[in-house]
Amino acid sequence: MMPHLARIEEIVAETASGDVKTFRVQFLDPETSFSHLPGQCAMVSVLGVGEAMISISSSPTRPRPLELAVKQVGRLTARLHEMEPGDVIGVRGPYGNHFPFEDMKGKDLLFIGGGIGLAPLRSLINYVLDNRGDYGKIDIIYGARSPGDLCFKRELYDVWPLAPDTRVLLTVDRGDEEWKGAVALVPHFLEQVHPEPEGKLAITCGPPIMIKFTLESLKKLGFADEQIVTTLELKMQCGIGKCGRCNIGSRYVCLDGPVFTLAQLETMPAEY
Amino acid sequence: MRRLERKDMRAFLDKLASAASLVAPVREDGVVVFRPVSSGEQVVLDYVNPVRSAKELFFPQTEVMFRFLPSPVAGITPVQPDRQTVLFGIRPCDLAALSLLDEVFLGGDYRDACWARRRELTTLVGMACEQPDESSCFCTAFGITPGTADGADIMLYPAGEWLGVEVLTPRGQALLDRVLSDGAVALGEIGPPGAASQAGAGGGAGEAGDRLQQEYLKRPVRLGDRLRVGDLAKELDDRFDDPYWEEASRRCLGCGICTYLCPTCHCFLVTDVPKRDDGVRLRCWDSCQFKDFLLMAGGHNPRPTKKERTRQRFMHKLNYFVHRYGRYLCTGCGRCVQHCPVGLDMATVIADLRGVSEHV
Ligand SMILES: Cc1cc2nc3c(=O)[nH]c(=O)nc-3n(C[C@H](O)[C@H](O)[C@H](O)COP(=O)(O)OP(=O)(O)OC[C@H]3O[C@@H](n4cnc5c(N)ncnc54)[C@H](O)[C@@H]3O)c2cc1C
Ligand code: SF4
Ligand code: SF4
Ligand code: FES
């Protein structure tokens, strides 16, 4: 449980309010062995405060700097948000399983993200786009409370839509004067977009309430449990199956997750 | 097996204390606990089991993992224990508990350095149970017995005026060699005078030792013998939604005593203690019975009521852990039976779940 020291190189405010920031970090020791897969997480230390589990939002195809998108919700994340380029944090990992990017080959992919939930999806999206030939059509449905709350705007507007056979479909709960796009909750918007389940995998991540209704919408649209992939979030302390914090029945989210198919979730107690 | 005269026990303990730092059962404010001791005088031998288990020697209630200098200087120095220790008087149930925690801390892809280090540094001198507690010990429910020596380096079997001494590992042998080196304490042979010469041929001494061991392995444990768990883990696969959990949980106070005293509970939290210029990162025991154990931002709590928390404690030990590691996460040590203020203990719950009466 010893973190590697890493220096913050650059900080990008993702949202208008600044409550989500991306931290680009480099390990102080360039020899640090740390190679992740899309969907894996890292335990991030602010020395003097503690640790928090954060998804790695950069793609393994672009391994350094490591990118971590963090929403300010409490003690540690607040301290992290006060830090500046040059500050040093701790990082250990990578932990957890990963999105089934091998099984996804040849399939059409439907990404459905909400708010900060786009962070882990972004790792997979960029991985898939860097291996574009291996995958079918890509639809990225993404929503946030307001236009200012959309994360990763540069990629949403200027990068992903330009990739071959790739659509980015945005929605917000509440628009503003300039917003010309959809105004709807993600699950409703998903039903309006009405994707066909054939040959497709849906990968969804976001706040628990969004995931809950998105899963229902996907079922309504005819997606089978095996075609739906999501991630779970539980409180964590160790990230490696020791601290007894993150179990759901006999599974540990930190070891066996955070990525689960809906088919797997159906076999687990609904205690999350 | 060799023979240690009871009258030599104090001298034997003194030698252990001079060979390494010795931790042994002592009586403190009327209760028996494991404590560092400097001489055999301080050690109690008439105990059933220390109130607090042996786990805290390897997984302290509060443990410094490393010292740090905060950003922007930033540095990390691991804190590693380095003292050779002898733990004297550990019972079979606590020995089994250590091997269960080995599964957690050493198993899988991640080896816990703190636990591993303390395990390596510690020689275990086990003590078979002459008199299991009538109303709380139930190790036999899980196939452990008053004589089970698995995991010990040396095992002692009390036999009236003397104790049988069985060496089980090279580490145990090395310790014993040091204790006996200056001749102040000597071990004798078991069995009738003259049997020693036949021992090598599998004669009297060996047989007498085996008999003593067998007697311990078969010693009755009243409560455990009634509660044998059998296929309980499998039965529980379908009992997540059993109304029993709600019913049982009503009397829980959420005090966490059960988890703190339990030799197999291992939940911890990680916290930093900053000082003026540096600080330490600690891990501290935590309890799944506390209501904020899983509380998350926005107030979401996956186990919001006592029902879910009680179910978690017992399902973890009797079902989830079995799925993961193939063993029950309870050794029948009886501490929760003795100390849960409301009687919501493992023996009671097993009896309830299996529909057997716990009381004869
Ligand atoms: C697998 C996984 C991946 C994650 N990925 C990301 C990510 O990419 N980006 C991101 O910003 N966050 C992510 N999180 C959530 C992140 O770990 C928490 O937001 C963080 O631990 C909060 O720490 P804090 O010290 O700032 O808050 P605290 O001060 O610990 O908590 C603030 C408030 O929320 C409660 N709380 C306690 N635990 C948590 C918790 N785990 N999450 C939220 N609130 C909690 C507290 O009781 C308090 O009231 C992820 C979590 C998991 C398990
Ligand atoms: S659950 Fe009770 S009896 Fe079982 S090991 Fe823990 S304290 Fe001992
Ligand atoms: S089961 Fe008993 S010992 Fe454990 S928390 Fe509840 S009241 Fe306390
Ligand atoms: S975070 Fe410690 S067991 Fe999963």
Q: Do B269 and A237 touch (CB under 8 A)?
A: yes
Q: Which residues of A touch B327 (CB under 8 A)?
A: none
Query: What residues form DSSP beta bridges with A228?
Result: A202
Q: So what's the ipTM on this one?
A: 0.89
Mean pLDDT of A43-54: 95
**Can you list the alpha helix ranges (DSSP code H) found in chain A?**
75-82, 118-130, 153-154, 186-193, 208-220, 253-256, 262-266
Unique residue bearing structure tokens 């560092």? B36
Chain B: residue nearest A71 by CA? B297
Task: Compute the 3-state secondary structure of chain B and give helix, strand, coil in percent, each to the nearest 5.
Answer: 40, 20, 40
Nearest Cα neighbor of A110 from A189, A228, A29 is A228
Atom of ligand 2 nearest to the CA of B345: 2
Alpha-carbon distance A213 to nearest alpha carbon in chain B (angstroms): 17
> Is the model's pLDDT at A2 over the cut of 80?
yes
**Look-up: residue for tokens 């600080």?**
B279
Q: Angle at CA B194, nearest 5°, toward B191 and B199?
A: 65
Question: Is the CB of B110 less than 8 angstroms away from the CB of A241?
Answer: yes
Ligand 4 proximity of A242 Cβ (cutoff 6 Å) = yes
Closest CA of chain A from B50, distance in Å: 25
d(CA A133, CA B77): 47
pTM of the prediction?
0.91
The mean per-residue pLDDT over the stretch A246-268 comes to 94
B105: nearest CB among A28, A51, A242? A242
The rounded Å distance from CA A52 to ligand 1 centre is 6
Question: Which residue of chain A is at minimal alpha-carbon distance from B286?
Answer: A243
CB B286 within 8 A of CB B303: no
pLDDT tens per residue, range A141-159: 999 999 999 999 999 999 9
Ligand 1 centroid distance, CA of A84 (Å)? 21
Q: Give ligand 1 pocket residues (Cβ under 6 A).
A: A 41, 52-55, 69-71, 73-77, 116, 119, 233-236, 258; B 295-297
Of the candidates B251, B231, B221, the residue with the CA atom closest to the CA atom of residue B360: B221
Closest CA to B115 of B316, B107, A251: B107
pLDDT of residue B199: 44
Q: Tell me what the mean pLDDT of segment A49-70 comes to.
A: 95
Nearest CA residue ID for atom 7, ligand 2 = B262
Total CB pairs under 8 A between chain A and B: 116
> H-helix or E-strand containing B217?
helix B204-217
pLDDT value of position B314: 97
Length of chain A: 272
- Evaluate whether B336 touches B262 at the Cβ level (below 8 Å): yes
Quick one: pLDDT at residue A60? 96
Q: Enumerate the residues of chain A whose CB falls inside 8 A of the CB of residue B233.
A: none
Structure tokens that stand for B357 in this block: 């009466």
Report whether residue A234 contacts ligand 4, using a CB cutoff of 6 Å.
Answer: no
Is A4 within 8 Å of A44 (Cβ atoms)?
Answer: no
* Confidence (pLDDT) at A7: 96
Question: What residues in A contact B272, CB-CB < 8 Å?
Answer: 47-50
Residue A20 has pLDDT above 60, yes or no: yes
Distance from CA of A168 to the nearest CA of B (A): 29
A83: CB partners within 8 A, 6+ apart: A8, A11, A23, A46, A89, B71
- Residues B319, A250: C-beta atoms closer than 8 Å: yes
Residue B78: CB atoms within 10 Å: 13
Which residue from B266, B272, B294 is facing A234, i.e. has the nearest CB? B294
Q: How far apart are CA B77 and CA B67, in angstroms?
A: 5
Nearest chain B residue to A232 by CA: give it. B302
Between the CA of B221 and the centroid of ligand 3 the distance, in Å, is 24
Flag whether pLDDT at A126 surpasses 60.
yes
The pLDDT, as a whole number, for residue B200 is 47
Per-residue pLDDT of chain B (360 residues; tens, 9 = 90+): 999 999 999 999 999 999 899 999 999 999 999 999 999 999 999 999 999 999 999 999 999 999 999 988 889 999 988 889 999 999 999 999 999 999 999 988 999 999 999 999 999 999 999 999 999 999 999 999 999 999 999 999 999 999 999 999 999 999 999 999 988 898 998 876 554 444 444 456 678 888 999 999 999 999 999 998 989 999 999 999 999 999 999 999 999 999 999 999 999 999 999 988 899 999 999 999 999 999 987 788 999 999 999 999 999 999 999 999 999 999 999 999 999 999 999 999 999 998 876 654
Query: Is B224 touching ligand 2 by the criterion CB < 6 Å?
Result: no
pLDDT at site B192 = 62
Q: Look at B71 and A250 and tell me if their CB atoms are within 8 Å.
A: no
Percent of chain A with pLDDT over 70: 100
